[in-house]
Structure 1
Amino acid sequence: MASSSTLSSSSASGATERRGIPGSRFVEDVQTYLTQLGLDANSALAFLQERLQQYKLVEMKLLAQQRDLQAKIPDIEKCLDVVATLQAKKGTGEALVADFEVSEGIYSRARIEDADSLCLWLGANVMLEYSSDEATGLLQKNLDNAKASLEVLIADLQFLRDQVTITQVTIARVYNWDVHQRRIQHSAGASATVS
């Protein structure tokens, strides 16, 4: 297993990092790579496999965050539409009739006439009353933040996928180098016994 000093030495030697995700570097020369890390091929392979598992765990976490945001954005957009509809109906004397979900699978019908304020669920069983303009501002801010977070997550996932690919290529290169070195040693040993 690689020590934390091995992790930092690989990061310090040209690999980049993005939001806490350690970067992998492409290995041109396996012998130089192993010498710089002070590892043999088996230890390097174990280190790289561990890094690959870490990447997979981070990927699962990021994908879960992405799913949450992708579900949250349409909800915020629906709320903005409702607030806009309420604002459009305000002052017309026309009531808005809406069906809303009280509980899972249970709906109720409401008749809404000139509403000066509305209540928004903020989460954790907290609801606050806002004017229509304040609600629109808050919801728009939340929507903008969610979209920005989604963009960052997508970029993080792309960076992570690149690191997984680089690590997989490095694993293959180290493995192939090790097999090649063993063949050379085996051939040298067989030549020595023939002489």
Structure 2
Amino acid sequence: MSTSTSTSERRGIPAAAFVEDVQTYLSQSNLDVNSALAFLQERLQQYRVVEMKLLAQQRDLQAKIPDIEKCLDALETLQANKDTDKEIIADFEVSEGIYSRARVENTDSVCLWLGANVMLEYSCEEATTLLLNNLENAKASLEVLVADLLFLRDQVTITQVTIARVYNWDVHQRRLRQAATPMSEP
């Protein structure tokens, strides 16, 4: 058997086949060594591009989760002080590096940015439910992303090992051909 028979993929990421026997792999694939190496290098490059995209998504989610948690903490503080006449003094970021101080009086609703320059007003209970749902979805998405990255790293490793095996097999074949060719004397 020349390659593993697993041709599965994970969320659109094709699985790399582990090559046990290079010669059989080349003959079954109808490839010469240079074509096989070019194909494998291209696949490796595709894996790297996907890895960069997944890492960017992971960074975005890792930044999003603390923001959601901060919003939930602020809502909890608002709700805890809802029935008291105590004002809350809060500092908030207006723009990057620019902060302002606000006095928040008793409120039953909050406004949340939904993205795409859209802000909606929600009751505190609705906002809490929405944010908890968003937090749960973000954490679940992060788990899937981490699993995808692990799968992808395995595929990169398998592809790198296959490239090394094909290259080493080619070097070995060249040496055998060179040893089999009688040297002409001067």
Aligned to 2:14: 22
Aligned to 2:61: 69
Aligned to 1:7: none
Count of residue pairs brought into register by the alignment: 183
Are 2:35 and 1:34 equivalent residues in the alignment? Answer: no
- Deviation sequence 1:7-50 (CA, Å, 0-9, x none): xxxx9942321111111011111111111111011110010011
Tell me if structure 1 keeps the 8 A contact 2:4–2:17: no
1:108 to 83, 100, 103: 100
CA 1:35–1:13: 2 relative to 1, 3 Å: farther
Which 5+ residue runs of structure 1 have no aligned equivalent? Answer: 1-10
Aligned to 2:166: 174
- Give TM-score scaled by structure 2 length: 0.93
One-letter code aligned to 1:88: A
Cα RMSD, aligned residues only: 1.7
- Displacement of 1:190: 2.0
2:151 to 153, 159, 178: 159
Aligned to 1:59: 51
- Displacement of 1:54: 0.6
How far apart in 1 are the matches of 2:5 and 2:31?
15
- Give TM-score scaled by structure 1 length: 0.89
Please identify which structure carries the higher helix content: 1
Q: Secondary structure at the residue paired with 2:134? A: helix
- Deviation sequence 1:123-160 (CA, Å, 0-9, x none): 11111000011000000111111111111111111111
How far apart in 1 are the matches of 2:137 and 2:164?
40
**Dislocated runs of 4+, deviation >6 Å:** none
Alignment of 1:58-97 (within 5 A): 58-97=50-89
% of aligned pairs identical?
75
How far apart in 1 are the matches of 2:97 and 2:163?
51
How far apart in 2 are the matches of 1:80 and 1:102?
19
2:37 to 42, 45, 48: 45
